[in-house]
Amino acid sequence: MGVLRLQLPTDPRWVNIVEKNIEEILTDHAWCEQKAATNAITIITNNSEHQDLVKDLLALAKEEIDHFEQVHNIIIKRGLKLGRERKDDYVNELYQYMKKSGDGSRVSGLVERLLFSAMIEARSCERFKVLSENIQDEELAVFYRELMESEAGHYTTFITYARKYGVGIDVEKRWREWLAFEESIITNYGKGETIHG
């Protein structure tokens, strides 16, 4: 996953944990998609003056909701139930890092939110790749392969806008710091049947 520049790959044995509780991974995944749509809408709300950003993130939010529906349909088809929303400790750690990292300016706030979003998409993309290549369930292998490509596109969207609107900020340096922080926390994950767990 060189293009994503993640510092630490997911151990493929994580899929063995996932396969023991498909209902849990699907529920967690559905809520990840819903939260991703909400995050895109939040960025639009706070940065509505950027017409191109609004247009692209509206499309992204629609796609995330479509993914939510696709996962929900798989849950229904398999006679499973969509459980309650799950807390995502990985995303919460990234969120706390984002909150502490900005300098208080609107530009910094936007760049931090975009890099936070890019990081989640990058790791989700990597996890979907690991799932698609290692899960025994053929339907889910194909499904996660398709979603992996979509997540890669979302990652690119967020990184591109961070570079475009990060005037006066060394976005590349900041992204390297995000990657280093993510590496420091990801070692605690990959042990549960959730997308980031």
Helix and strand element counts for the chain (H, E): 7, 0
pLDDT at 102: 82
d(CA 57, CA 34): 14
CA dihedral 13, 16, 22, 24 (to 10 degrees): -60
pLDDT at 41: 98
pLDDT at 84: 95
pLDDT at 2: 65
Continuous segment of H or E residues that includes residue 5: none
Instruction: Compute mean pLDDT per 10 residues along the chain, 197 residues long, and list them.
Output: 83 95 96 97 97 98 98 98 94 95 91 98 96 97 94 95 97 97 95 90
Distances (CA, A) of 14 to 9, 28, 140, 194: 11, 15, 15, 10
pLDDT at 173: 96
Cα angle at 83 between 15 and 40, to 5 degrees?
Answer: 80
pLDDT at 101: 83
Please give the CATH topology (third level) of the domain spanning 17-188.
Ferritin (1.20.1260)
pLDDT at 154: 96
d(CA 56, CA 33): 17
Continuous segment of H or E residues that includes residue 4: none
pLDDT at 197: 80
List the end-to-end C-alpha distance of the chain, in Å, as a whole number: 19
pLDDT at 56: 98
